[in-house]
Amino acid sequence: MSSEQKPVLYSYWRSSCSWRVRIALGLKNIDYEYKTVNLLSAEALSELKEINPAAKVPTYVDNGHALSESMAIIEYLEETHPEVPLLPKDPVKRALARQIALLVTSGIQPLHNLKVLQTLNKKEAGLGQQFAKQFVVEGLTALEVLLKQNSGKYCIGDELTMADLNIPPLVYSANRFGLDLSAYPTVNRINATLAEIPAFIAAHPDNQPDTGLNA
Amino acid sequence: MSSEQKPVLYSYWRSSCSWRVRIALGLKNIDYEYKTVNLLSAEALSELKEINPAAKVPTYVDNGHALSESMAIIEYLEETHPEVPLLPKDPVKRALARQIALLVTSGIQPLHNLKVLQTLNKKEAGLGQQFAKQFVVEGLTALEVLLKQNSGKYCIGDELTMADLNIPPLVYSANRFGLDLSAYPTVNRINATLAEIPAFIAAHPDNQPDTGLNA
């Protein structure tokens, strides 16, 4: 396999987990091939399953190795492309950056992803949204306190870290659920700051090759 | 604050997230003070919230810094106590170890934790278990394939990594849900191997200061 071969990102425009990896790739100036996975197509998921047994996006293929779980991919990018760091140097700040990232990726996002909504809405129309909203609100409430304590311009002081990659997808989801975000001024402030950064603009769901699919 | 002060782990015996941090602390020979958080006590959760806005266990306090999210704590322990490594040296293997760990901590555990069960069972008795089982089965199915591809004695070849810390809590939860685990021979084999290791025995829910609380 040629070392010249571009890495491939299996992604879906509105997947928040794909989104945060797209931001990391952009910030680190990594050129990659975008492959759309239509999450509503059983055939597309079955194809994806051949390289990722969990059949989830994002799946990142680098030199023939298929990697998944957004935070594992981001840590891999951090280790293999350290030139633009997404973690501070201080161990406590590194832990806080990961904590904020994981509060979203493990504590909030899994409870409002597409499969969860589908499963609960099959039980009762709207149950998925009702369930998701409760956990998004709980997560946002904790996040706001953590950001008040730790943020500067960005989530952890004035350094852009992997924590920040989670803010725009979370705010986007919260807006899709129609939540009132006025109780989270620090989240909103950081989100507005991030929205001006080119890598964040390029990674936005509105700017992907598959934007609008199934919309 | 004295540097002699022991770190404190806020934990609950049956919390799978606390459990995996207890294993890491044991493997790395880190002496710590165990503080029980009664997850069914509103007062205990309110107290915990003062140091961790998400009011979740585990919360790990080191030199006055309160850290949470089990994977963030484990990465912090890895960076501050590298003598017993829980990540391989090769970047792809590191990514796979994290991927397997996150498949459990982000992809499975959040969907069967106490709060999720409580929320859904309030809606309809047994709905929580029904929901949880579906996602535990899906997760175990993907995990079995990944472990068949990557395991040796442990999850990633013959090296103990942070992936392994997730296996016993997952199998324990699956058993509590009454799932048939015969379809996951690699998961079972690794779980049996891990069950012989002193740090894994010491971290087991049956061997904690608060074992049996609310049982």
Cβ-based contacts of A92 with chain B (< 8 Å): 62-63, 65, 67, 76
Q: What is the pLDDT of residue A3?
A: 54
Q: Stretch A44-59: mean pLDDT, rounded?
A: 97
Q: What is the pLDDT of residue A43?
A: 98
**Residue in B54, B73, B143 nearest the CB of A107:** B54
- Assign B1 a pLDDT band (cuts: 50, 70, 90): very low
**Coil vs helix vs strand at B163:** coil
* DSSP string computed for chain A: --TTSPPEEEE-TT-HHHHHHHHHHHHTT---EEEE--TT-HHHHHHHHTT-TT--S-EEEETTEEEESHHHHHHHHHHH-TTS-SS-SSHHHHHHHHHHHHHHHTTTGGGSSHHHHHHHHHHSTTHHHHHHHHHHHHHHHHHHHHHHHHBSSSSBBTB--TTGGGHHHHHHHHHHTT---TT-HHHHHHHHHHTTSHHHHHHSGGGSTTTTTT-
Percent of chain B at pLDDT exceeding 90: 96
Question: What angle (nearest 5°) sits at the alpha carbon of residue A129, between those of residues A123 and A135?
Answer: 115
Q: What are phi and psi of B44, to 5 degrees?
A: -65, -40
**pLDDT exceeds cutoff 80 at B215:** yes
- Distance CA(A162)–CA(A156), nearest Å, equals 10
Q: Stretch B95-104: mean pLDDT, rounded?
A: 98
Cβ-based contacts of B55 with chain A (< 8 Å): 142
User: Contact B33/B41 with Cβ under 8 angstroms?
Assistant: no
Question: What angle (nearest 5°) sits at the alpha carbon of residue B107, between those of residues A199 and A127?
Answer: 95
Q: What is the pLDDT of residue B68?
A: 98
**Coil vs helix vs strand at B170:** helix
Mean pLDDT over the full length of chain A: 96
- Distance CA(A178)–CA(A156), nearest Å, equals 27
Q: Stretch B198-203: mean pLDDT, rounded?
A: 98
In order of their start, the domains of chain B are: 8-84 (3.40.30.10), 91-199 (1.20.1050.10)
| B94 at A interface, C-beta within 8 A | yes
* DSSP string computed for A59-85: EEEETTEEEESHHHHHHHHHHH-TTS-
**pLDDT exceeds cutoff 50 at B211:** yes
Interface TM-score (ipTM) > 0.95 = yes
A79 and B94 within 8 Å at the Cβ level: the answer is yes
Residue of A nearest to B149 (CA): A53
Q: Stretch B24-29: mean pLDDT, rounded?
A: 98
Segment B145-186, tens digit of pLDDT = 999 999 999 999 999 999 999 999 999 999 999 999 999 999
Find the length of chain B. 215
Query: How many CA atoms lie within 13 Å of B71's alpha carbon, on the beta-carbon side?
Result: 30
**Residue in A69, A123, A139 nearest the CB of B98:** A69
Segment A92-130, tens digit of pLDDT = 999 999 999 999 999 999 999 889 999 999 999 999 999
Question: What's the alpha-carbon Rg for chain B, to the nearest Å?
Answer: 17
Phi-psi region of A14 (alpha: psi -120 to 50; beta: other; left: phi over 0): alpha
| A57 at B interface, C-beta within 8 A | no
- DSSP letter at B6 equals P
Query: How many CA atoms lie within 13 Å of A116's alpha carbon, on the beta-carbon side?
Result: 23
Q: What is the pLDDT of residue A65?
A: 97
- Assign B3 a pLDDT band (cuts: 50, 70, 90): low
Q: What is the pLDDT of residue B204?
A: 98
Which string of b and e fits A36-48 if b means at least 16 CB within 10 Å? bbebeeeebbeeb
| B129 at A interface, C-beta within 8 A | no
User: Which of A117, A12, A21 minimizes the C-alpha distance to A68?
Assistant: A21
Q: Stretch A145-153: mean pLDDT, rounded?
A: 98
Q: What is the pLDDT of residue A1?
A: 47
| B151 at A interface, C-beta within 8 A | no
User: Contact B86/B155 with Cβ under 8 angstroms?
Assistant: no
